Structure 1
Amino acid sequence: MYFAERRNAGQRCAFVRFDDAERYDYIELIMEELRYGDMNRFRNSSSSNDEPSDDDQDALLLGLAAELILLHPEAERTIITYLKTIKKRVEIEEALAMALVMVSHSARQRVLAERFNRSTETINRNVREVLRGLCMFASQIIRPFDYDQDAVGAIDGTHIPACPPSGHQMAYTNRHGFQSQNLLAVCDFDMRFTYIYAGWEGSAHDARVLDDALSHPSDFPMAPEGKYYLVDAAYKNVPGFLPPYKNAARAGPEKILFNTRHSELRNVIERTFGVLKNRFKFLKGPVPNFYMTTQVNVVIACCALHNFLRLHQPGDAHFQLAEDGNVGLEHQQGGGELPHVQPLNASRAEVMAWKARRDAIATEMYGAQRRRRR
């Protein structure tokens, strides 16, 4: 059995072996203590601008194992139902804790085996099962939440380090020179993911990934008519997607102002990526030699946990740092323009009307600023 022994004023968790007959009772004790103890302590201290320590983050994620299992109805219908169909000698809470420690600290399986006093085969099998369960959970928690504004969210891509199979290294080598998978993400202005598309090779252009997401039947949340997503200059200016002006410095003050306001709103996706990677160190690499399917599942699982934390712990330290502007932003442009990549089938008249709408927004925005200065 694994018992959480307190160290350093009740912050560090170490697992000690006990008889198997006591396993379930002790796991319940651990999770109840973390759920009502460390989680509340972390919430009370999360208003600080200091970056959370590894001990605080460890307690938070192990407490999340209990909260995810015990409180969220979708978890009961997805993760628990899936894991209960598998004949397991490891309790569900413990298996989830293994996966959470791996993605939060980028812990290798030998480290997890020593910490949980399990074999590396047991660690590997349980982590993969939990990741598949979290991917099912992602389908319930990664979704659009509301469309109250004309701008319904932001779209961008980010590179997640990858360990590609032999013979595919060149395809996964991005323009920055390292091997990665290109993650396309859509988020709202509350830093919640509403859509993710993982698994594309790092050499793929952001616009190409979006084109593929829209070319096949998928659950991509298209913006309602008249509304749009904010995108960067790597994407086309077509209905539903609003990029900034190119070469705005030569075009006039209204377009400069538009680009400034556009950037201030669109950087929510950069801050969201920053929070995601700061919380889950696995996504910063280096990545173990997992199957690519497992690497993609890790990304999806981390995005699902990110949304869960945003919904149930919106004031934790990582989100507070992002809201205060103290989190490292992701600045990864998708590359140069690809004239042959058109993410939507739009007629020339529709494209021209959409450009005229962007011009009208820029003109109205500049006029409002001048009126306020008078």
Structure 2
Amino acid sequence: MARIPLSKQKKIAATCIVIYRQIMVMVMEIILHLMYLLSVTNIKIPKPISFVFDDSLKERLTARVLNIRPMIQGSDIACLDNLRMDRACFYKLCEMLRDVGKLQGNRNTSLEEMVALFLFTLSHDTKNRRTQLHFRRSGETVSRHFNLVLQALLRCHHILLKKPTAVTENCQDDRWKWFKNCLGALDGTHFKVRVGDKDKVRFRNRKGDLTTNVLAACTRDMQFIYLLPGWEGSAHDNRVLREALSRQNPLRVPQGNYYLCDAGYMNCEGFLTPFRGQRYHLSIWKRGSLPVSAEEYYNMKHSQARNVIERCFGLLKMRWGILRHTTWYHRKTVSRIILACALVHNFIRTYMSVDPMESLLVDNMEDNDGDNIEIMETSATWNAFRQELANEMYNTWIQTRNP
């Protein structure tokens, strides 16, 4: 192949250089024109984002302490807002979880931080990612500490669940003095859960929501005696109560004692219900209506006393945000969380002289080794007992109105 003469090579090289210069000039003109347009339209070029990381382990530990300290050491108001209890109650709970629940901190995380993380999650229904940012922990650490505290708290159930005491003959409480030997009130409530497609039919309640039906009994001072979580939302309250009486750790109702229940349950020994077909709810009596029969007067007094379980459920859901929404936890874990929330609720009601959450509400016994009620069966004797109690209430009320 013939070689290109040297003179021709020089001409080609010179032509390429000229073309390259022209291209560069055009590019520079375009860039300058774009910059001029940006300046005219007042568009600011964003600055590059810079991320600041802790340079050492010591700085990370300092940041965690500074983040936790205002919550548990700053003031009772901050502690109540974030953890739903004051500082003294918080440290008492930490002591119980350490001594009874066998919860231990480690070299990287104190026991107080673990408990604060758990209570913060229950109170505000925070997701794992948000909790990571707030406590400056990894997602795995947040999840592990949450489950450790949950397990330790459930180990304390035998201490935190209230022992029922019956209403005595000399009771002066106007709501309860008629119900001698009553242990408290009993009812069921629903909490939202997330389930798989094959379980949606069973967990869909009559309102169309996916829920779990939780049976609970409480004392007169709004502390839980017994909880049975985990049942499907479609299960009837009577069915859940039958299970509670027959399981390995049953709801204990000694012979001669009873709980107040609504009309959704069977009126039988151990469970006293209102009369059907008669006025019952408190909203009716608050409008100034007066009872006109023994059955209606009994229903009014029954509603006033049994309302304690409704207030107890309302306070529980108001205190713990995680119970008001559908969470991403597995439904078995949700059942444990519900029980844990009730246990901490009892702890707060016991060790705090004043429960500030109670003012926000709007109205709407030792283990007995003797015979307990194990089956639900209606009887003429129990119906007669209810009727006699209603007649006694009504006659006494009439006498006080017409001296």
Q: Note whether the superposition's TM-score is higher than 0.5.
A: yes
- What is the CA–CA distance in structure 1 between the aligned matches of 2:257 and 2:56, rounded to whole Å? 59
Partner of 1:38: 75
Larger radius of gyration: 2
- What is the CA–CA distance in structure 1 between the aligned matches of 2:79 and 2:70, rounded to whole Å? 15
- What is the CA–CA distance in structure 2 between the aligned matches of 1:27 and 1:119, rounded to whole Å? 12
Displacement of 1:217: 2.4
Partner of 1:76: 98
1:273–1:354 CA distance, 2 compared to 1 (3 A):
same
Partner of 1:140: 159
CA contact (8 A) 2:85 2:348 kept: no
Q: CA RMSD in A?
A: 3.1
CA contact (8 A) 2:188 2:215 kept: yes
AA at the equivalent of 1:355:
N
CA contact (8 A) 1:102 1:282 kept: yes
**What is the percentage of aligned positions where both structures have the same residue?**
31
CA contact (8 A) 1:154 1:231 kept: yes
- What is the CA–CA distance in structure 1 between the aligned matches of 2:161 and 2:236, rounded to whole Å? 24
| 1:357 equivalent among 362, 374, 385 | 385
| 2:205 equivalent among 170, 174, 179 | 174
Partner of 2:220: 189
TM (normalized to structure 1)?
0.76
Displacement of 1:57: 1.8
Displacement of 1:55: 7.8
1:163–1:369 CA distance, 2 compared to 1 (3 A):
same
Displacement of 1:301: 0.7
2:360 is the alignment partner of 1:321: yes
1:102–1:32 CA distance, 2 compared to 1 (3 A):
closer
| 1:114 equivalent among 125, 133, 136 | 133
2:340 is the alignment partner of 1:301: yes
Partner of 1:218: 249
2:81 is the alignment partner of 1:57: yes
Partner of 2:8: none
CA contact (8 A) 2:183 2:257 kept: yes
Displacement of 1:35: 5.7
Report the 3-state secondary structure (helix = DSSP H, G, I; strand = E; otherwise coil) of the residue aligned with 1:157.
strand
Report the 3-state secondary structure (helix = DSSP H, G, I; strand = E; otherwise coil) of the residue aligned with 2:346.
helix
Report the 3-state secondary structure (helix = DSSP H, G, I; strand = E; otherwise coil) of the residue aligned with 2:129.
helix
Partner of 1:156: 187
CA contact (8 A) 1:24 1:91 kept: no
Which structure ranks higher in relative contact order (CA pairs < 8 Å, sequence separation ≥ 6)? 1
Any stretches of 5+ residues in structure 2 without a counterpart?
A: 1-52, 169-180, 280-290, 365-372
Displacement of 1:279: 0.6
- What is the CA–CA distance in structure 2 between the aligned matches of 1:18 and 1:152, rounded to whole Å? 60
Partner of 1:311: 350
CA contact (8 A) 2:164 2:184 kept: no
- What is the CA–CA distance in structure 2 between the aligned matches of 1:36 and 1:115, rounded to whole Å? 17
Partner of 2:267: 237
Deviations 1:7-26 (A, max 9, x none): xxxxxxxxx97965699999
2:235 is the alignment partner of 1:204: yes
CA contact (8 A) 1:31 1:66 kept: no
1:228–1:243 CA distance, 2 compared to 1 (3 A):
same
Any stretches of 5+ residues in structure 1 without a counterpart?
A: 1-15, 43-53, 330-342
1:368–1:187 CA distance, 2 compared to 1 (3 A):
same
CA contact (8 A) 1:195 1:220 kept: yes
Partner of 2:5: none
- What is the CA–CA distance in structure 2 between the aligned matches of 1:225 and 1:36, rounded to whole Å? 49
2:88 is the alignment partner of 1:66: no
CA contact (8 A) 1:27 1:93 kept: no
1:59–1:172 CA distance, 2 compared to 1 (3 A):
closer
Count how many residue pairs are aligned between Structure 1 and Structure 2.
319
CA contact (8 A) 1:134 1:301 kept: yes
Which has the higher mean CA deviation after the structures are superposed, 137-146 or 264-273? 137-146
Partner of 2:116: 97
AA at the equivalent of 1:77:
D
Displacement of 1:173: 1.0
Displacement of 1:201: 1.1
Displacement of 1:308: 0.4
Displacement of 1:32: 8.1
